[in-house]
Chains A and B, each alone.
Chain A
Amino acid sequence: EIVLTQSPATLSLSPGERATLSCRASQSINSYLAWYQQKPGQAPRLLIYDTSNRATGIPARFSGSGSGTDFTLTISSLEPEDFAVYYCQQRSNWLTFGGGTQVEI
């Protein structure tokens, strides 16, 4: 089973700052890594698929990168609505999610 470890658990930043979220896999995975945003009381929303492709309607300030076992989600300049929990997810034989990073003000 591939385990995804996200860091940091909590990221405290201000609007306008850059956020860098990390996701590390326990073994090398193909480029199939996705990122999701979840706000309280809501379902997750797909942000990035296949490591670096933005989903439909996702602003350009969100970008993904990485390969092998190390992946990154970058939010170039935080907007007030970006404060939320972010999950990475891989798809080998089945799906697994990382533990999440909370981006807080």
Chain B
Amino acid sequence: QVQLQESGPGLVKPSETLSLTCSISGGSISDYYWSWIRQPPGKGLDWIGYIFFSGNTNYNPSLKSRVTISLDTSKNQFSLNLSSVTAADTAVYYCARERWLYGVDVWSRGTTVTVSS
């Protein structure tokens, strides 16, 4: 059974870069889209972007200028970098797996990232 686990700092200062890594266990990277999705406190879900197993990426247009998602197949991990963060980036961050037409079927537990000085 595939499991996803995020790692990274829970507190980031304004204007700095938020960096998270998602470790994939129990399954293959191939044939899936690997996404980052966030949820601000008390609000809905906001897709940040994905990386396909081939390395192709796609980002939410509203965040595109600040987002980089990368994949390390040797470590079965993918990562998120979000630059120039503000308080509006405070959220629970999820990493997740999507298979085309089959939905986002595996989610991490989520990690809270707070942007504050």
Contacts and interface: CB of A to CB of B under 8 A. Distances in A.
Interface of A: 1, 32, 34, 36, 43-46, 48-50, 55-56, 87, 89, 91, 93-100
Contacts of B16: none
B41 interface: no
Given A34-B104, A46-B103, A55-B103, A94 B47 contact: yes
B101 A50 contact: yes
The 8 A-B residue pairs whose C-beta atoms are closest, nearest first, are A49-B103, A43-B107, A34-B103, A95-B47, A97-B45, A46-B103, A46-B105, A100-B44
A43 B59 CA distance: 21
Contacts of A55: 103, 105
A43 B45 contact: no
16 contacts: A1-B61, A36-B104, A46-B103, A46-B105, A49-B101, A50-B102, A56-B105, A91-B101, A94-B60, A94-B61, A95-B47, A96-B47, A97-B47, A98-B44, A100-B44, A100-B45
Contact of A97 (B46, B98, B110): B46
Nearest to A32: B101
Interface in B39-98: 44-47, 49-50, 58-61, 94, 98
A14 to B, nearest CB: 25
B19 interface: no
B35 interface: yes
Contacts of A48: 103
Nearest to A41: B110
A49 B106 CA distance: 13
A40 to B, nearest CB: 11
A32 B100 CA distance: 9
B4 to A, nearest CB: 9
B109 interface: yes
Contacts of B107: 43-45
A44 B45 CA distance: 9
Contact of B58 (A34, A36, A43, A93): A93
